[in-house]
Amino acid sequence: MADISSRVDSDRVLADLNALRAIGAYKTGVHKPTFSEPHLRSLAWLVQQLPEAGLAGEIDGIGNVLGTSTKSGPKLLAGSHLESQNHAGWLDGPLGVVYALEAARVINPDPNIEGVVEVAAWCDEEGHFGHFLGSRSYAGGVTEADIDAARDRNNGRSMRDALRDAGLAGRVRVRCEQGRHIGYLEAHIEQGETLESSGLKIGIVTSIVGIWQYRITFTGEQNHAGTTRMAIRRDAGLALARFCVDVDNRFPAACGPRTVWTTGRITLDPGAPSIIPGAAEMLFQIRDDDPAVIARLEELLHSMAAEVNAQGRCAVAVERIRTGTPARMDGSFQQAIEAASAAFADGKSLRMPSGAGHDAQILSTVMPAGMLFVPSIGGISHHWTENTADADIVTGAEVFVDACRRLLAQ
């Protein structure tokens, strides 16, 4: 093992990550929405690095970068994404891309290793324009009509305009070649505090949880906030607040050990200080890797809504707007990561599900897939203060490259 370890260039890995952090820097993080200038510059940066790893590639017609090799032997695909959430962290995405690049730089020129690592940066994993449009395009799940319909949720710019402005209009979208790869490996920061709080270095992802999303709407009666007595009000905002609290009180008895639920957005209509809200809406999300748990919680949600409707003051409707599918990570990938952790991280690893969505869940529909996590300081994620200790970044790179070697050797 020692000879592989010696060939991971930890300074190079950290320098690459900092180079990407400097493009679109925001405080100690980055602000690189999909197809923003710093995102496009980051993609161009990656394309420039590929030849050093024996790969050729360019940005395709949906903003994916694919670095491919003509070398014979088994091929492992590895990567992540380069755009960020708004004003978010420097490692969410770039870590997995730089690990993949480092694995390619270490493994591809090595005459003693049969096979290659190919590198991918999937566009829009962070969902500025949709759900995993880049990796879904590669897996064959995005139509031209999907692209026609996609718009930037921040500013309404259409994806067609964004592609045209980026000079990508009319380029071919690279599709997955059946049988080309033995599988896909992705590294990511944990985005939680399980590893950190347990003193562990590597998370071996067993599954990626599904996301179920609901629009819950309340209808009361809009009226004057000064003249309408409390006793006769039908305040949709208050009904919503009571529902949120009720969810928080009743879900724990019905959920699974790792279920999470979130009300991320609340809108009162009309939203004026002197008007009793006649309508209110909440966006509500549940994540779990067990569809049976979701079914139980969804039933609870509907029965809670029925109780509110039976009271008759306000009406509530629960509409599922997104249905999740948990993705199982491949067993042999988990074993390879575990063995590499034993070799390079003192065995300080833990098998765990991923609460966040990742491109690996899309790739798992077309090839075996695996993921590894490195610790996140304080578990902070989707915020510019997100960070991971340099030593943990380096350990992760060593485990990642060794896992690639093991997978190619199988």
**Residues in the site for its own copies, rule: CB under 8 A?**
85-86, 127, 190-193, 209, 211, 213, 221-230, 232, 235, 237-238, 240-242, 244-245, 248, 252, 258-268, 270-278, 283, 285, 287, 354-357, 379-383
Distance CA 36, CA 17 (A): 19
SS3 178: coil
Nearer to its own copies, 63 or 357 (CB): 357
Distance CA 199, CA 120 (A): 31
Q: What is the DSSP string of 226-238?
A: TTS-GGG---HHH
Taking the least distance from each CB to its own copies, the nearer of 1 and 272 is 272
- Residue 106 vs 189, nearer CB to its own copies: 189
* Helix intervals (H) in 251-389: 291-311, 331-344, 359-363
Q: Least CB distance from residue 271 to its own copies, whole Å?
A: 5
Which lies closer to its own copies via its Cβ, residue 195 or residue 363?
Answer: 195
CB closer to its own copies out of 68 and 376: 376
Q: Which residues contact 270 (CB under 8 A, 6 or more apart)?
A: 222, 277, 278
Distant-in-sequence, close-in-space partners of 189: CB < 8 Å, separation ≥ 6: 89, 91, 92, 95, 373, 374, 375, 376, 381, 386, 388
DSSP-derived letter for residue 88 is B
Annotated binding-site residue? 81: yes
The answer to whether the annotation marks 128 as part of a ligand binding site is no
Residues 119 and 226 sit within 8 Å (Cβ to Cβ) = no
Does 181 show up as a binding residue in the annotation?
A: no
Cβ proximity to its own copies, 64 vs 191, nearer residue = 191
Please state, as a whole number, how many other Cβ atoms lie within 10 Å of the Cβ of residue 98: 30
Q: How far is the CB of 192 from its own copies (least distance, A)?
A: 4
> Residue 2: how many CB atoms within 10 A of its CB?
7
The position carrying tokens 């509409």 is 319
* Paired tokens of 388: 């991971």
- Distance between CA 209 and CA 381 in Å, rounded? 17
Q: With beta carbons less than 8 A apart as the criterion, state whether 345 and 399 touch.
A: yes
For residue 69, the minimal CB distance to its own copies (Å) is: 33
Half-sphere exposure of 217 (CA within 13 A, CB side): 9
Task: Please state the closest distance from residue 273 (CB atom) to its own copies, in A.
Answer: 4
Angle formed by the axes of helices 331-344 and 390-409, nearest 10°: 130
CB of 138 to its own copies, least distance (A): 22
Nearer to its own copies, 131 or 171 (CB): 131
Residue 126 is labelled as binding a ligand: yes
Q: Nearest approach, Cβ of 66 to its own copies (angstroms)?
A: 26
Q: How far is the CB of 220 from its own copies (least distance, A)?
A: 12
| Least gap, CB of 99 to its own copies (angstroms) | 19
Which of 19/283 has CB closer to its own copies? Answer: 283
Find the farthest-apart pair of alpha carbons in the chain and give their distance in angstroms, rounded: 83
Residue list for the binding site: 81, 92, 126, 188, 382
Residue list for the binding site for Zn(2+): 81, 92, 126, 188, 382
